[in-house]
Amino acid sequence: MSGADERHMRRALELAEGGRGLTSPNPLVGAVVVGADGRVVGEGFHRRAGAPHAEIEALAAAGGGARGGTLYVTLEPCTHQGRTPPCAPAVAAAGLARVVAALVDPNPLVAGRGLEALERAGLAVTRGVLAAEAARQNRAFLTAMRERRPHVTLKAALTLDGKIADVHGGSRWITGPAARRHAHRLRSEVDAIVVGVATVLRDDPELTVRLDAPWPREPWRVVLDTTGRTPPGARLIAAGRPERALIAVGPDAAAGVVAALGRAGATLVRCPTRDGRVDLGALLADLFAREVRAVLVEGGGEVHAAFLDAGLVDRVA
């Protein structure tokens, strides 16, 4: 691994950040094409699910300048047909001499086959350049592919005495303006935001993403509500598309409330229970099936404890 390899891969990682919060269920990917003379001739990144992949963008920008050159890409080129055609054949046909990848794709549909196909096509392949940095960047995708469940971030806003609520039991103003902006940035980077029904009854939150400009994606707004206490008029149902409000109830939830929530447009998911509460593993499996790859758990304290006790927290922010 040369200094040039690290420099170009670092640039590819920077480019990948342009898709932060927009590409799910796909990963963040950036790509740089360096011509045979060592000059950068093309760059690209994956902008959103269904848009061209980073390699395709970079090769299109490079044109004939890719011949004899090197492609730097933060994740192995894919080999399967998804929302877009596979990338590996296009990379093989571009006339490149070499491909440098930070990570092998853990997706079972790829899992090394993309790089192996490029080697069979006669390209030199280097793996693992800035792999640790690339893994941090795509931690949610990697967890989802390896564990077959969403990556879980626990958001813990603490007061100076180490509590997650004030003396009155409220949490609305527990953080200052800068921290609230950070919280909305965290929301923008995930596919689902999870709270307990106690938070809904106390604070009536919207659980929306509020940044300086309108955010193009709407995370699922998920409530853990074993017995069915969420009011049909809760703001999190009316704050966006009602069907993006997902109420996870137990098998014995009050039928009348469940019916009213359904009439309000919310998505109802009946989950098995564990120790008298919604089984979090079952809920995460349901969310994974809905292409949720990253979850932000906002609270409250009992919900935090439940995720921690279940061993389902991957990161605390």
pLDDT per position as a tens digit, 34-77: 999 999 999 999 999 889 999 999 999 999 999 999 999 999 99
pLDDT of residue 163: 46
Q: From the candidates 43, 55, 76, 189, which is the catalytic residue? A: 55
CA distance to 86, 249, 277, per residue, from 227 (Å)? 46, 6, 9
Domain 3-145 fold: Cytidine Deaminase; domain 2 (3.40.140)
pLDDT of 160 higher than 50:
no
Domain boundaries along the sequence of the chain: 3-145, 150-316
Superfamily name with CATH number, domain 150-316: Dihydrofolate Reductase, subunit A (3.40.430.10)
The token pair that represents 32 in the structure block: 């740089």
Chain segment 248-283, per-residue pLDDT in tens: 999 999 889 899 999 999 999 999 999 999 999 999
Average pLDDT over residues 71-88: 87
Residue 156 has pLDDT above 80, yes or no: no
Q: Looking up tokens 């093309």, which residue turns up? A: 42
For 56, the enclosing helix (H) or strand (E) is helix 54-62
Confirm whether 3-145 and 150-316 share one CATH topology: no
Assess contact for 294 and 24: CB atoms under 8 A.
yes
Backbone angles phi, psi at 280, to 5 degrees: -65, -35
pLDDT of residue 159: 40
Query: Any catalytic annotation for residue 189?
Result: no
Indicate the pLDDT class of residue 174, thresholds 50, 70 and 90.
low
Neighbours of 240 (CB within 10 A): 17
pLDDT at 307 (0 to 100): 97
In whole angstroms, give the CA distance from residue 69 to residue 67.
5
